[in-house]
Structure 1
Amino acid sequence: MLKINKQSKEKENLCRRIILFGAAVAMFALYFEKILWILGLIFNICMPFLLGGGLAFIFNIIANNIVRIYRSLTKKKENRIVRFLANIGSIAFVAALLAVFLIGIVPRAGASIQTIVQVMPRTLANIYHWAYYASKPVPFIHSWLKTLNADPGNISAMIENVTSWIVSGNVQDVVGSVYSVVTNTFSILFSVIIAVMFAIIVLFNKKTVVKEADLLMQAYLSKTHYKKSAHVIELIKNTFTSYISGSCTECLILGTLVAFFASVFGFPFAFLDGILVAIGALIPMFGALCAAILAALFTAIENPMQGVYFMIMFLCIQQVEGNFIYPHVMGRSVGLPPIYVMIAVTLGASLAGVLGMIIFIPILSCVHQLVSENAKTRITRKNKLEEEYEDS
């Protein structure tokens, strides 16, 4: 029987891989649109289950914290009843937060926005008159401002026209008909219901899901690949758990501090300002600052100087929070250098908008840690080979 030496076999395998890779690239180039359509269809089908998996992950984080508190208070081990009650408590906690948001926060925020809309015409008119008299040394700008009609009544009419155009004409053109509105609403509600049901099922059957997934990995992967896959999954779980817990806590603290001190110093729309800063803080790096600038503009509508004072107050709060509170809350939950955080935010914004800006940081953190571990392993192996070569 003719035997093929090892070197020829490796070359044959390499040629096969190159041919398969070239064929895959050619197929992808020829049927690019169809492939994207199929991938989009698969993504839309899986979306409720992906959302449900993410929601189950959040439920599990809350349940683990409840179990941790139970252990510290009672000095007892976790059992099935404790885990069941912790799961129920996590769902109740999220439902309570949603109820507080819908019943307590949304109406107050809506009232603040309504007040801003009512005050805006008078504020814009005052700004116009100030600009009109200040622009006298510049005839071109002064003559252009003179042609404008910036009375409060005219500005109110402009705002009403823009609002009616958005509500009636433009949205109707985009949506198309009442039937499409109902269909889209039903589709969203159905997806949300499926996601919530899937999350609850996964939460209460976590051990079964983990056990079956581990069994499949052991069956279809080699020992080496199984250990690597288990390590990657554990790294992803720990990174996302730390990031979600730390980010939510940090946003809540920063928003509460802004709302509290804004109320103490008598700034208007203090509650709305705190909500804006808390939501903006979910976006790393510049999210809280951008939200604070927007809140300062809302405050400046009532009183321009108070908008400046609000920004000074926010910068002081952010410095205190960033130097004393943030390190204890977040710690090294992500372990990502600032330059990589900026890259993650930029990539996330380009690929998936605001959601991408939030989730790309823990994703890039996992990639960064895996690459660092692989690089250290390679360097150690390289140094070992060099030492063996020198000894020989």
Structure 2
Amino acid sequence: MEMNRKTKQAIIGMIVLALVLWAGLKNIDAVWGTFLGIISLGSPFIIGAGIAFVLNIPMSLMERRLFTKRWLKGKRVQRLRRPLSILAAFLILIGIMALVVFLVLPELVNAALLFARSFPSVLESFQSWASRILGEHSEASAFIQKLDTGGLESLNWDMLSKNLFSFFRGGAAGFLSTTLNVAASVAGGVFHTVIGLVVAVYLLFQKERLGLQTRKLLYAYLPEKRVDRLLEIVGLTQETFSHFVSGQCIEALILTVIYTIILSILQMPYALTIAVLIGLFSLIPVFGAIVACCLGAFLILTLSPVKALIFVVACFIVQHVEGNLIYPHVVGSSIGLSPLWILAAVTIGGGAFGILGIIVMIPLFSVLYTLTGETVNRRLSQRHVDPQKLLKKEE
């Protein structure tokens, strides 16, 4: 039996793919380094695409809701619809950043300085407490006294001083090298961010045209059915991520209002600052608000340890209510995931890729969950299996 042309091409393609995979696994370090290099070169475009995706949500909302009003349907106004919507979206982003810089950061710095000034008194209190404990326990006091009299005399102080000098000299060189590397990284990050902002503006202005060009390219070189399925998946992904970002922003706003009211009632210091801080950190799913509560507790601790304890208890109650009632309904329902799957996505994403993984993995799980459900239902339909019968069997 002779093989036809398509079968030969398929076999050759599988052999080539296997050879490529084998070569890639054998030189995994070089492949990974090349991949990171490509990502680094394309980072301004990746940053720009991310900024454009986020800003497209308020921009599209204003275009649909604001510029469809009767008094804004003039030709001149419609020409300015996209520029004004982009400008408003950027102003929202700048306003949030200004809120962090001028409201939250100064309070954190002041709290750190206050803690530094009060640290000597805290240390003195600790020393007096340690002296009292040692006085009550003669064994520990005798051990410390033995170290002071005999143990330390046997040390080679010349050798110790030379080692310390070498350590600090090497540490100074390392500190200088680290500082230069950090400065270079910051400068590179600023440059990439500026280029990313330019790319984001271009993408927002030309998103319809770029979408049309991409579809033409796909239909010109790929089978029509595959392109239809690919565009369907891309549309599902875009919708899911948009709903997730919108849900997180609504969640952040709700938490900011709740904490502002509760902290004002409890007469906590830094009430508005802590509420805004918790709202901003809650953009990081599940764990962000917890980190913000720790920072808020540190702020209050510099002024009143008792109020800091009350604040922690209040945070525990609010986070319990938010995690079981607000978050699953606001964010979970918007992306179609149950709380169990949200927790799984956060755990896997955070463990694999850190904060970025936590943010991205939840909507990605939602897309995979939807696609898997469609595939399973289609295969059950092909096999003439009724899902309702499976439910009855479980019951």
TM exceeds 0.5?
Answer: yes
Offset from partner CA, 1:145-168 (integer Å, 9 cap, x none): 999xxxxxxxxxxxxxxxxxxxx9
Indicate the residue corresponding to 1:380 in structure 2. 381
- State the shift of 1:59 in Å: 1.4
Counterpart-to-counterpart distance in 1, 2:349 and 2:113: 33
Q: Unmatched 5+ residue regions in structure 1? A: 148-167, 385-392
C-alpha contact (below 8 Å) 1:251/1:278 kept by paired residues: yes
Structure 2 residue 47 is the aligned partner of structure 1 residue 48:
no
Indicate the residue corresponding to 1:332 in structure 2. 333
Greater alpha carbon shift after TM alignment, 22-31 vs 35-44? 22-31
- State the shift of 1:247 in Å: 0.7
Greater alpha carbon shift after TM alignment, 284-293 vs 123-132? 123-132
Question: What is the identity, as a one-letter code, of the residue corresponding to 1:32?
Answer: I
Question: What is the identity, as a one-letter code, of the residue corresponding to 2:91?
Answer: A
1:285 match: secondary structure: coil
Indicate the residue corresponding to 1:270 in structure 2. 271
- State the shift of 1:376 in Å: 1.2
- State the shift of 1:177 in Å: 7.5
Counterpart-to-counterpart distance in 2, 1:122 and 1:62: 50
C-alpha contact (below 8 Å) 2:286/2:323 kept by paired residues: no
1:199 match: secondary structure: helix
Greater alpha carbon shift after TM alignment, 94-103 vs 374-383? 94-103
Indicate the residue corresponding to 2:12 in structure 1. 16
- State the shift of 1:251 in Å: 1.8
Indicate the residue corresponding to 1:82 in structure 2. 81
Indicate the residue corresponding to 1:364 in structure 2. 365
Counterpart-to-counterpart distance in 1, 2:38 and 2:324: 45
Indicate the residue corresponding to 2:102 in structure 1. 103
Counterpart-to-counterpart distance in 1, 2:237 and 2:134: 58
Indicate the residue corresponding to 1:239 in structure 2. 240
- State the shift of 1:58 in Å: 1.2
Q: Residues 1-392 of structure 1: matches in 2 within 5 Å?
A: 4=2, 10=7, 12=8, 15-70=11-66, 74=70, 79-123=78-122, 125-126=124-125, 173-174=174-175, 176=177, 180=181, 183-321=184-322, 325-326=326-327, 329-330=330-331, 332-383=333-384
- State the shift of 1:136 in Å: 8.2
- State the shift of 1:120 in Å: 4.0
1:333 match: secondary structure: helix
Counterpart-to-counterpart distance in 2, 1:90 and 1:234: 22
1:172/1:82 Cα in 2 relative to 1: closer, same or farther (>3 Å)? farther
Counterpart-to-counterpart distance in 1, 2:209 and 2:383: 42
Indicate the residue corresponding to 2:165 in structure 1. none
Question: What is the identity, as a one-letter code, of the residue corresponding to 2:290?
Answer: L
- Number of matched residues? 362
C-alpha contact (below 8 Å) 1:120/1:301 kept by paired residues: no
Counterpart-to-counterpart distance in 1, 2:81 and 2:12: 55
1:128/1:182 Cα in 2 relative to 1: closer, same or farther (>3 Å)? closer
1:131/1:179 Cα in 2 relative to 1: closer, same or farther (>3 Å)? closer
C-alpha contact (below 8 Å) 2:285/2:359 kept by paired residues: yes
Q: Unmatched 5+ residue regions in structure 2? A: 147-168, 386-395
- State the shift of 1:123 in Å: 4.1
Q: CA RMSD in A?
A: 3.6
Counterpart-to-counterpart distance in 2, 1:252 and 1:231: 32
Offset from partner CA, 1:161-217 (integer Å, 9 cap, x none): xxxxxxx99686255177655543432221111111111111111111111111112
1:290/1:20 Cα in 2 relative to 1: closer, same or farther (>3 Å)? same
Whose RCO is larger (CA < 8 A, sep 6+)? 2
C-alpha contact (below 8 Å) 1:53/1:202 kept by paired residues: yes
- State the shift of 1:276 in Å: 4.0
Counterpart-to-counterpart distance in 2, 1:302 and 1:272: 15
1:19/1:320 Cα in 2 relative to 1: closer, same or farther (>3 Å)? closer
- State the shift of 1:289 in Å: 2.8
Q: Give the share of equivalent positions with the same residue, in percent.
A: 24
Indicate the residue corresponding to 2:160 in structure 1. none
Counterpart-to-counterpart distance in 1, 2:107 and 2:211: 43
Greater alpha carbon shift after TM alignment, 114-123 vs 173-182? 173-182
Counterpart-to-counterpart distance in 1, 2:323 and 2:354: 25
TM-score computed with the length of structure 1 as normaliser: 0.78
1:182/1:129 Cα in 2 relative to 1: closer, same or farther (>3 Å)? closer
Question: What is the identity, as a one-letter code, of the residue corresponding to 1:26?
Answer: W
C-alpha contact (below 8 Å) 1:247/1:330 kept by paired residues: yes
Counterpart-to-counterpart distance in 2, 1:325 and 1:283: 15
Counterpart-to-counterpart distance in 1, 2:253 and 2:170: 38
C-alpha contact (below 8 Å) 1:63/1:86 kept by paired residues: yes
- State the shift of 1:372 in Å: 1.4
Question: What is the identity, as a one-letter code, of the residue corresponding to 1:249?
Answer: I
Counterpart-to-counterpart distance in 2, 1:212 and 1:360: 29
Question: What is the identity, as a one-letter code, of the residue corresponding to 1:87?
Answer: I
1:325/1:368 Cα in 2 relative to 1: closer, same or farther (>3 Å)? closer
- State the shift of 1:366 in Å: 1.1
Counterpart-to-counterpart distance in 2, 1:381 and 1:299: 62
Counterpart-to-counterpart distance in 1, 2:140 and 2:293: 31
Counterpart-to-counterpart distance in 1, 2:241 and 2:197: 20
Question: What is the identity, as a one-letter code, of the residue corresponding to 2:206?
Answer: N
